[in-house]
Amino acid sequence: MAPMNRPAPLKVDQAKPYEQAGQPLSVSTTFGVQAPAAGQTRAPLAKPVYVNSSHTTDFPWKIEWNAETCIRCGACVAACTFGSIEPRLMRQGQAVSVGNFPTPVANYHVVLAIKQVKDSKLACRGCTMCERVCPTGSIRPVTNEQHRFPLVARRGGTPIKRGGRAHHIPVRALDYIKVGRISQMTDPALDAARHTFDLLTPLGRNLPAGELPFKVENGKLAMQGKTPPMQWIYPVMIGDMSIGALSWRMWEALALAVAYLNEQCGLPVRMSSGEGGMPMRLLTSEYLKYFIVQIASGHFGWNRIIKAMPQMVTDPAGLLIKIGQGAKPGDGGLLPSQKVAPHIQAIRGVPQADLLSPPNHQGLYSIEESVQKMFLSMNAAFKFRVPVGIKVAASATSVAVYNNLIRDPYHIVGGFFMDGIQGGTGAAHEVSMDHTGHPILSKLRDCYLAAVEQGRQGQIPLFVGGGFGDSGDLAADAFKAICLGASGVFSAKIFLQLAGCVGNEKGRCNACNTGKCPVGICTQDPRLVSRLDVDAVAQNVVDYFLSMDSELKKLMAPIGNSSLPIGRSDALISMNKSIAERLQIAYAC
């Protein structure tokens, strides 16, 4: 509001910045008519239109700034990690009238303005940090639906890379599935608050009952011989995100939450390390037992892990051989050099450079051989005490892989982790994220039913990931996957979102690859990482798991189950006929 004792200033919406001095200065009125600047007698020539240089109208996010309410504190510019806004000077005109009758006189002065940068490399990501820090609510990014960003962002001959999840997934099948078989008089629904629920699932190779090394002695079964390592874990685990992809504080917060959930809450939640090693202090602590250590094609971090083995006081929960991931199937891991800070170099034992894991493990050329070489060597690394699983991107070939593994005669494959197209990543080519991959549900179902057909369900537990929890309801997503045959679910991005990640599937932020994560989650810049409150993040994650635990019980109780309904697809209905048909569940309308 203008002060009462002064006339309202003339509105100006496109003042010229000060650095364009030398050119005739002009202001455009709200009506778009070129008004002559002071001292000029005729209108200047219209400015030529150059359509090939990038402009903010090409960008998916535009900055909306209110010059009238902005107090020019500069907080937004300081908060923007992408350099997408900058302070600039602006000539502002005011018509001032003094005296008893309207005698307006144009009055111009230079003011500070916040402007969006036109460089496509510095395009606004819509991360909202400016909006969050602005004390007067004067600035915010708004989506620009008519943008041309895919056309300008490739200038320079470089493919678009980003983090986050796939965009443009037309159907989220989980939303069409409901828990439709409710215990109503045929059997009683259970009491979610009072009954005992066994929310645990086995991780490790399950022998068929007939192959258990049992001997009957005095009317009792006695164990004779060894069985593959196995442990009962919580059916929702924290998926693989490396130190490197994540900031050390974010990783630490997750690790803290996992330790707390195990030690204080009685939930045996497991977390995968991702490819990138683990801190020595954790490797040599008791808490290692809550972590699944990942080995991927780059073997990053394994020098340190192997060196730590003599000092380990306990075994890890499992080992996970990563072949691929759903967000960028066919690609290996990618850690851009911007994120390879000195501590990352130390953990991974590498210089600062783009760290690209090969798309495949060296020497692997067949599934059978992978069982022989990779599984056997990883099993042997911990003397066959630790289950060894494998993680692949869901693919049209997944059933063939699963079938081969399930016939593994050595019983050394302890888990099949399958990651769907909606999985997240810290860095990938956008074309891979958006256009390669396979939705997870149908492939999960195919693998489970393939096992059923052979009478081998449960022998190699199926864990699935890729978009679970992206609606915020991880319990519901996980429960539906379990009913379709999953032994458990791994989820990652939701835990980043709990930590404050603002990224989404509509193009917001997705800057995990830049090292400029505005919330300190996916960056190694100490100034940005300090934005993250480790304890608060850990608490958010713990709280979420505790509510998810209650919610899983609220889903199990009405179908009358106190144990995990793995493969109980009769509990589900689909409100979409095609999905019902594909997943072999009942269609309901």
Partner 1 sequence: MCRMAAIKSKKPVAPAMVLRMMLAMQEGHDNSGFAMVMQDLGGAFANFKEFPLLSMACTSEGLDRVEEYLEKLGFTVKFDYQPDVDDRPGLDFQKMPIYVFRNYRYPENYIGRSWEEKKKLLVNTRLVLRRLLAEGDQGYVYSFWPDVVTLKEVGDPRDIGTYFQLWNEGHWLQARVISAQCRQNTNYHIVRYAAHPFFLEGYTLMGNGEDTFYQKNRDFLNGLNPGYLGFESDTQCFLYTLHYIVEELGWPLPYYKHVLTPLPFEEMKQHPEAPVLEHIRQSCQHLEINGPNTVVFVLPDNRMGVIADSKKLRPLVLGRQDDLVAVASEVCGVNTALPERDYTTDVYPGERETVMINNNLEVEEWLQ
200 touching partner 1, by CB under 8 A: yes
Q: Is 195 in the site for partner 1 (CB under 8 A)?
A: yes
Q: How far is the CB of 454 from partner 1 (least distance, A)?
A: 8
Q: Which of 137, 188, 330, 358 binds partner 1 (CB under 8 A)?
A: 188
Q: How far is the CB of 570 from partner 1 (least distance, A)?
A: 4
Nearer to partner 1, 423 or 560 (CB): 560
**Interaction of residue 17 with partner 1, rule CB under 8 A:** no
- Contact, 505 vs 514, CB < 8 A? no
Minimum distance from residue 237 beta carbon to partner 1 (Å)? 17
> Which amino acid, residue 315?
D
> How far apart are CB 445 and partner 1 at their closest, in Å?
13
Q: Are strands 177-179 and 572-574 parallel, antiparallel or unpaired?
A: antiparallel
Query: Shortest approach of partner 1 to residue 179 CB, angstroms?
Result: 13
Q: Which stretch binds partner 1 (CB under 8 A): 16-24, 207-215, 302-310, 368-376?
A: 207-215
Burial class (CB in 10 A: 0-12, 13-18, 19+), 201: buried
Q: Find out whether 579 and 177 touch, Cβ atoms under 8 Å.
A: yes
**Closest separation in Å from C-beta 270 to partner 1:** 16
Kindly state whether residue 194 participates in binding partner 1, applying the rule CB under 8 A: no
Phi, then psi, of 448 in degrees rounded to 5: -65, -45
Quick one: residue 65, left, alpha or beta (phi over 0 = left, psi -120 to 50 = alpha)? beta
Please, which of residues 402-461 interact with partner 1 by CB under 8 A? Answer: 452-453, 455, 457-458
**Interface stretch with partner 1, choices 162-170, 379-387, 466-474, 565-573 (CB under 8 A):** 565-573
DSSP state of 37: P
CA–CA distance, 173 with 175 (Å, rounded to integer):
5
* Interface pick for partner 1 out of 114, 174, 190, 462 (rule CB under 8 A): 190
Alpha-carbon distances, residue 137 vs 68, 71, 283, 285, 470 (angstroms): 11, 10, 46, 47, 29
Question: Nearest Cα to 466, choosing from 487, 491, 444?
Answer: 491
**Least distance (Å) between residue 197 CB and partner 1:** 9
* Residues 235, 542, 206: CA angle, nearest 5 degrees: 15
Q: In angstroms, what is the minimal distance from the CB of 385 to partner 1?
A: 15
Measured distance between the N- and C-terminal CA atoms of the chain, rounded to whole angstroms: 55
Site for partner 1 in 456-485 (CB under 8 A): 457-458
What is the Cα–Cα distance from 450 to 72, expressed in whole angstroms? Answer: 64
- Per CB under 8 A, the list member of 83, 568, 575, 582 interacting with partner 1 is 568
- The binder of partner 1 chosen from 42, 109, 220, 383 (CB under 8 A): 220
Spell out the residues 6+ positions from residue 29 whose beta carbon is closer than 8 angstroms to its own. Answer: 10, 11, 12, 35
- Quick check: 182 binds partner 1 (CB under 8 A)? no
Binding site for partner 1 (CB under 8 A): 183, 186-188, 190, 195-196, 198, 200, 202, 206-210, 212, 214, 216, 219-223, 227, 230, 232, 452-453, 455, 457-458, 559-563, 565-570
